[in-house]
Amino acid sequence: MTTPATPEQPADVVARLRATFRTGRTKPVAWRTGQLRRLRELLTERSADLADALHADLGKSSTEAYRTEIDFTVREIDHTLDHLDAWLRPESAPVPAHLGADATAWTQVDPLGVVLVIAPWNYPAQLLLAPLVGALAAGNTVVVKPSELAPATSAALARLLPAYLDTDAVAVVEGGIPETTALLAERFDHIFYTGNGTVGRVVLRAAAEHLTPVTLELGGKSPAFVDRDVDLSVVADRLARGKFLNAGQTCVAPDYVLTDPETAAALEPLLAHAVETLYGTDPQASDAYGHIINERHFDRLAALLDSGRIVVGGGSDRTDKYLAPTVLADVDPGSPVMREEIFGPILPIVTVDGLDEAIAFINDRDKPLALYVFSESGDTRGRIAAETSSGGLGYGLPLAHLTVSDLPFGGVGESGMGNYHGRWSIETFSHRKAVLDKPLR
């Protein structure tokens, strides 16, 4: 009888990856691009495995799995491969005259060392692999920790990543709180965490023990302001698509709508129609609509349904972890649904008198990860851009800024710190070192 192998302890994993980094093996651009191409091969050759796992964990359709997780990450890899040489090129800096005409200065982009990536459950492949792309492109070794709340995806990644990537430079650690706690006790050169603010504080406190820099991609209540005199049928369609994707379990989904009472009344039936167009009269039977991740989150969301008048939806099935796409009207700002990030398929409509009250409403709360504005008025757009603070700002289309690789993605204040995607990932996972050369003459 064969004795099962003892799982590698977090301290041993980190020590092994640090030893690899110190050999210089991960620094050549050829190694970095080779790893990115291997990761791309994994995503294309084993895409069905990942799509099946995502369906098991979240009920995602294959279309949604490919669009939001697999193809999304492939595009990130392709963009990085196209531009990596330019991003890594040293940049010259002017030298003051007192140092002499023969002095030169430049910045050099250095990898940090051993990076830890902790992924969430809502996009369990994309939100683990997209940071991994940046960490590898920057020349680091990486420990990745998939979410235990998406066990099928975690198991698939733990099986596939070692089959494609350099196992002396990339390690997968599965598990829950004990394993994460053990990892956080180790010294890393950067920690990248995506999730909620409560755990984000735990990560930040642990990192402080080693003065480790941290990127926190958190969430928050992302508002959508709907102005008067816009095409509400288009607004309703785009709000519904952005809100109910992944059954509302998206960190940049519109969390609530702010608009005046007359516009709210006109928007209600259009949102109901948009939901039916997307998922039919019985969303539970729709292949395009997913389920809530687990019973705990289902119970939390079901308790929020009494926070307003139900315009559409409201149905639920705990056994199937199904919560219908739901729009709530007549929502009081102090109601339970407005006290926390919803992170589920419930869209409250909160009425305000106009733009001034909407801006004050947003500014009285934590800075959101995203803010969406549906308005054709340049003055309205400009005022919201100038008078509010958010991680990202979208005019006319929710979620889309996340797909632009040349835009930084990240939060501000309670919604996070730091950015990634494209070149911004290189900046996050590297140190830009200042270099000065004064010849010995």
Label each residue of the chain as H, E or C: CCCCCCCCCHHHHHHHHHHHHHCCCCCCHHHHHHHHHHHHHHHHHCHHHHHHHHHHHHCCCHHHHHHHHHHHHHHHHHHHHHHHHHHHCCEEECCCHHHCCCCEEEEEEEECCEEEEECCCCCCCHHHHHHHHHHHHCCCEEEEECCCCCHHHHHHHHHHHHHHCCCCCEEECCCCHHHHHHHHCCCCCEEEEECCHHHHHHHHHHHHCCCCCEEEECCCCCEEEECCCCCHHHHHHHHHHHHHHHHHCCCCCCCEEEECHHHHHHHHHHHHHHHHHHHCCCHHHCCCCCCCCCHHHHHHHHCCHHHCEEEECCCEECCCCEECCEEEECCCCCCHHHCCCCCCCEEEEEECCCHHHHHHHHHCCCCCCEEEEECCCHHHHHHHHHHCCCCEEEECCCCHHHHCCCCCECCCHHHEECCECCHHHHHHCEEEEEEEECCCC
Amino acid at site 45: E
Up-side HSE of residue 242: CA atoms within 13 Å toward CB? 29
The predicted structure's pLDDT at residue 4: 46
Question: Is it true that domain 223-403 has CATH number 3.40.309.10?
Answer: yes
pLDDT in the model for residue 1: 44
Which residue, 234, 244, 167, 217, is CA-closest to 8? 167
Give the per-residue pLDDT at 3: 44
Tell me if residue 427 is catalytic: no
Give residue 200's pLDDT: 96
Active-site residue (options: 64, 69, 217, 427)? 217
84-121 pLDDT, tens digit per residue, is: 999 999 999 999 999 999 999 999 999 999 999 999 99
Catalytic residue among 64, 186, 251, 414: 251
pLDDT tens digits, residue range 303-338? 999 999 999 999 999 999 999 999 999 999 999 999
pLDDT digits (tens, 9 = 90+) for 235-282: 999 999 999 999 999 999 999 999 999 999 999 999 999 999 999 999
Q: What is the pTM of this model?
A: 0.95
- Give the whole-angstrom CA distance, residue 12 versus residue 14: 5
How many other CB atoms are there within 10 angstroms of residue 35's CB atom?
A: 24
Query: Which residue positions in the chain have pLDDT lower than 70?
Result: 1-6
Q: Is 251 a catalytic site residue?
A: yes
Query: Positive or negative, the Cα torsion across 185, 189, 193, 197?
Result: positive
Residue 421 falls in which region: left (phi positive, over 0), alpha (psi -120 to 50) or beta: left
Is CATH 3.40.605.10 what the domain over 10-218+411-437 is classified as, yes or no?
yes
Domain ranges for the chain, please list them.
10-218+411-437, 223-403
